[in-house]
Amino acid sequence: MEVKTSLLDNMIGVSDMVLLEPLTEDSFLENLRKRFDHNEIYTYIGSVVISMNPYRSLPIYTPDKVEEYRNRNFYELSPHIYALADEAYRSLRDQDKDQCILITGESGAGKTEASKLVMSYVAAVCGKGQEVNKVKEQLLQSNPVLEAFGNAKTVRNDNSSRFGKYMDIEFDFKGDPLGGVISNYLLEKSRVVKQPRGERNFHIFYQLLSGASDDTLKKLKLDRDFSKFNYLSLDSAAVNGLDDAANFRTVRNAMQIVGFMEDEVQSVLELVAAVLKLGNIEFKPESRCNGNDESRIKDKNDLKEMCELLGIEQSVLERAFSYRTVEAKLEKVSTTLNVAQAYYARDALAKNLYSRLFSWLVTRINESIKAQTKSRHKVMGVLDIYGFEIFEDNSFEQFIINYCNEKLQQIFIELTLREEQEEYVREGIEWTNIEYFNNAIICDLIENNQNGILAMLDEECLRPGTVTDETFLDKLNTICAKHQHFESRLSKNSKFLTDHSLPHSCFRIQHYAGKVLYQVEGFVDKNNDLLYRDLSQAMYKATHSLIKQLFPEGNPAKVNLKRPPTAGFQFRASVGTLMKNLKTKNPNYIRCIKPNEKKASHIFTESLVRHQVRYLGLMENVRVRRAGYAFRQLYEPCLERYKMLCKRTWPHWKGPAREGVEVLMGDLQIPTEEYSYGRSKIFIRNPRTLFSLEERRRECLQDLATLIQKIYRGWKCRRQFLLMKKSQIVVAAWYRRFAQQKKYKKIKSATTVVQSYTRGWQARKLLRELKYQKRCEEAATTISAYWHGTQVRREYRKFFRANAGKKIYNFTIQRIMQKYFLSLKSNMPSMSPIDNKWPNRPYLFLDGVHKELRRIFHHWRCKKYRNQFTEERKTVYEEKLEASEIFKDKKALYPSSVNQPFKGDYLEISKNPKYQKLSSAMDEKVLLADVVNKINRANGKGTARIFLLTKKSVVLADQKTGQVKTSVPLPDLDSVSVSTQSDGFFALKLKEGSASAIKGDFLLSSEHLIEIITKLHRTGAMAADREQLNIDISDEFLVQFKQDKVCVKFIQGVSKNGNSASCKRKNNRLLEVLVPSLA
């Protein structure tokens, strides 16, 4: 069975104030202090949770804590906000009861954080799934958006909610969230235009300027410098621990998750920027001819930028700031506005623009998070609203905030008493009426339709004539003078005439939480909350996508002359709707308390906490809970907790739990007037009785602990003894085994030594015998060999002298040859064919063999070297060999060409795009491509031509254009003539009668003469159908130029071209080639 802890276990102070004894205000505060000092920030008053703001992070909100409180009884664990959230969620899911969680307390007490914790807990324990997770994420991410636009830094709280928020979270029958609806109450829009010293405007202004990109600010026509905007206070612009830039990114992300489109986000930011620009518009007076003053805008730049953001004509808005049109029936009267009225109109527009934007945001969020199904939903409401406010200067805002708290206190008392009464009736306990202070008289003073303060304020705002705050106060003094909770120095009640703590321009109301002094100044204006119709109509003319939605009354087609409802009337109606909504749900209360004004941890200011305890009515709450029975508990957990106090119920009770509790209470002899039996619970009247039971249980637990320790120690000692006994047996067995193994090894070792010595002696004896036998055999063999040798020598002595010389000679020759070959093997030359080294012969008679071996070795390594050649390389060497056969010792140019490889295609004709056309014209593979000079017989000068050689023809083409000039088939070539000198001239002679011989022979010069002639000769030799090409090497030969034959003569001398040969015409029959002599 699972062992469960209890609220009463390990208590620090008293976990439930209902059990506090004695119950005084001082003991109440001391209990809160004691728990606060031990980081116990939550305390119960029955089912109400008191939450102290620790002003620091505590490790009590982890996922493990969520699981610890999940599906546990409310009083089963120590007080925690999770316990209340779990109780509310399970009641909604399992009992189909709509729930509401009311979170109250003054600014800085932690109400907003408490609401977040409740929502995060519910999100963690409800169902999972893609759609469910999306709904949960949207509900949670609505908080950052509303906080940015509705929260601000105040002197009491760095993240103070300046509006009231009520969220209805809707669930299906399984307890999974479907969506939600948010209601907002009384945004403090006056903060937009003016902030008290040490406070800031709403967060979104600072977040936008700090976190938006430079491009975004440029589009919004804003600057990051806060000092450039009149609506932003500078003394508290930066807040420690608040990163506005990071929070802006969080808000943008949250808006995206909630479902805002990008253009909607941009529109919202444009309106925020417009509010900032609106605050920079300033006015100056200007006198008219009729003597009246009217206002004019000083610098129109901010007005222009604002109009550009909102899409409004500048002149329209400028006129709306200068004139006011009043309509009465069919008449229109236009009056000018002075500077003060212009500033009032500007601020009114800024407040209305921002507050309507905030209301639109709430509506837009509701559209995204609302439940999609129309079936009946279970609802859990979370109310996070301002706490009771008592400042040095209290105005209209504090008045209606405190009115709302009066209503909440009234419903709190009513619902608490109703819950108590319902439980008593449900359990069959007699209900007795409980006396308590009913604040309905205060609520009636404020909200009565005839004589209530709000009704009189509305009446004063609507009546014709001059209406001021003083006339409103006079009316209050007349009508409310005799009310016991209303005080005024000017009233007819004489007892306040000499009260100097009550100024003449103020009135005081005695609220349930204490007396509050209200400054009457500003009540009428704030209640009117007027926006001139000219400004509404100017806003409606804007082209901005949101402005027309925010100012529908500006539509000229729907002019409504009826006065709009006042702020007080609207708030009273919304509070009434809220109260009706709360009364239909099962309430759960969280009372938040601020421990100090410094917003610091570990500081408990008793006077401040005492003040909050009083105005929250916590002492009265405890007295209401204790008026009947202070403690109640189900029979099963009660019997499980206290059954050890009675022998008849310990350790197991087999009957019904109620009978077990009756036996237990009777055995303990507790007076019957101290408790009562309900249907499912036992009710204990006095906390002393409960603490007496707890003390007895503690003593019994100590006895049980001693008994358990005794039995455990006996069991542990017996277990230790049996373990030691078992271990001793095991150790003894192992030791005996070890001893026997050691003894066996010792005997075995001794036996082995004796055996080795015996075997050694036997082996040595056998060895001696074998050695003696061997010596005898060797001696006999030696004697026999000597004897046989003597006999053989006697037999062959007569033949030895005749054959000894020849045998010695053959043996000597064999040894010399063997030594020669071994020496040759070790001194072999390298495998290079050009290596001429060879070992010297040792003897003259080996000369022939020595030369033959050298020849054989050279042929063999040449063959090895040739085997390494590829086909391409063989061709190159064959061409080189053929060139050697043709030109060696015949042409002076030949030696310089030996070390130059034959490349063939020097122009890379197939790759060069310049010769692409020429390459495509060739039908066969090009064997050689080079640039040659074609010699002109007229002047002996050369013209550059491309020389191409294929297997079938010789082609001459123009070097620049690549156009073919001449193509000569190889069969038409008769011979080639060259000189013996180092020039590059050669003549291609054509066969007489051939088709190519019409133009005559060709006299050409090339730097690759040897390669060209060799390839021509080789190509002709490889063709079976052609005669071999003749090579004529002579310093003087004839060349046929068309009809004439010209003699080409080569002589040595100094050439004009330096080291290259030059050709010069001597006459019509002679061309002279001057070849430079080689150095």
What secondary structure letter does DSSP report for 202? B
In the chain, how many H helices and how many E strands?
30, 31
The residues, ordered by sequence, that sit 6+ positions from 911 with a Cβ below 8 Å of its Cβ are none
Q: To which H or E segment does residue 214 belong?
A: helix 214-219
Q: Which residues pair with 510 in a beta bridge?
A: 515
Alpha carbons within 13 A on the beta-carbon side of 1073: 29
Are 32 and 15 contacting, i.e. CB atoms less than 8 angstroms apart? no
- Selected catalytic residue, list 13, 46, 105, 108: 108
Phi then psi for residue 60, to 5 deg, are -120, 15
Are 1026 and 1003 contacting, i.e. CB atoms less than 8 angstroms apart? no
* Rounded-to-integer distance, Cα 109 and Cα 597, Å: 10
* Rounded-to-integer distance, Cα 323 and Cα 338, Å: 9
Are 840 and 853 contacting, i.e. CB atoms less than 8 angstroms apart? no
Establish whether 108 is a catalytic residue: yes
Phi then psi for residue 953, to 5 deg, are -155, 165
Establish whether 112 is a catalytic residue: yes
Best CA proximity match to 49, nearest among 4, 14, 27, 81: 81
Establish whether 115 is a catalytic residue: no
> How long is the chain?
1079
- Tokens 């040798």 locate to 789
* Rounded-to-integer distance, Cα 536 and Cα 491, Å: 40
Establish whether 31 is a catalytic residue: no
* Rounded-to-integer distance, Cα 327 and Cα 163, Å: 34
- Selected catalytic residue, list 6, 15, 53, 107: 107
Longest dimension (CA), the chain: 185
* Rounded-to-integer distance, Cα 424 and Cα 20, Å: 22
Q: Which residues pair with 185 in a beta bridge?
A: 164
Let me know if 49 is exposed, middle or buried by CB neighbors in 10 A (0-12, 13-18, 19+). buried
Q: How many CB atoms are located within 10 Å of the residue 660 CB?
A: 23
Establish whether 387 is a catalytic residue: yes
- Selected catalytic residue, list 6, 15, 47, 112: 112
Are 957 and 948 contacting, i.e. CB atoms less than 8 angstroms apart? yes
- Selected catalytic residue, list 104, 151, 160, 233: 160
CA dist list (Å): 279 to 306, 323, 550: 10, 19, 19
Best CA proximity match to 642, nearest among 662, 628, 625, 622: 662
Beta strand 48-52 pairing with 42-45: antiparallel
Are 643 and 435 contacting, i.e. CB atoms less than 8 angstroms apart? no
Query: Residues 677, 680, 686, 687: is their CA dihedral positive or negative?
Result: positive
Establish whether 157 is a catalytic residue: yes
- Selected catalytic residue, list 157, 233, 950, 1062: 157
- Selected catalytic residue, list 294, 389, 447, 640: 389
Q: To which H or E segment does residue 161 belong?
A: strand 160-161
Phi then psi for residue 869, to 5 deg, are -75, 145
- Selected catalytic residue, list 180, 381, 387, 984: 387
The residues, ordered by sequence, that sit 6+ positions from 570 with a Cβ below 8 Å of its Cβ are none
Alpha carbons within 13 A on the beta-carbon side of 238: 4
* Rounded-to-integer distance, Cα 489 and Cα 506, Å: 8
Dihedral class, residue 617 (left if φ above 0, else alpha if ψ from -120 to 50, else beta): left
How far from the centroid of its chain's Cα atoms is residue 379's Cα? 35
* Rounded-to-integer distance, Cα 959 and Cα 906, Å: 13
Establish whether 161 is a catalytic residue: yes
Q: To which H or E segment does residue 1009 belong?
A: helix 1009-1022
Establish whether 919 is a catalytic residue: no
Phi then psi for residue 1036, to 5 deg, are -150, 120
Active site residues: 107-108, 112, 157, 160-161, 387, 389
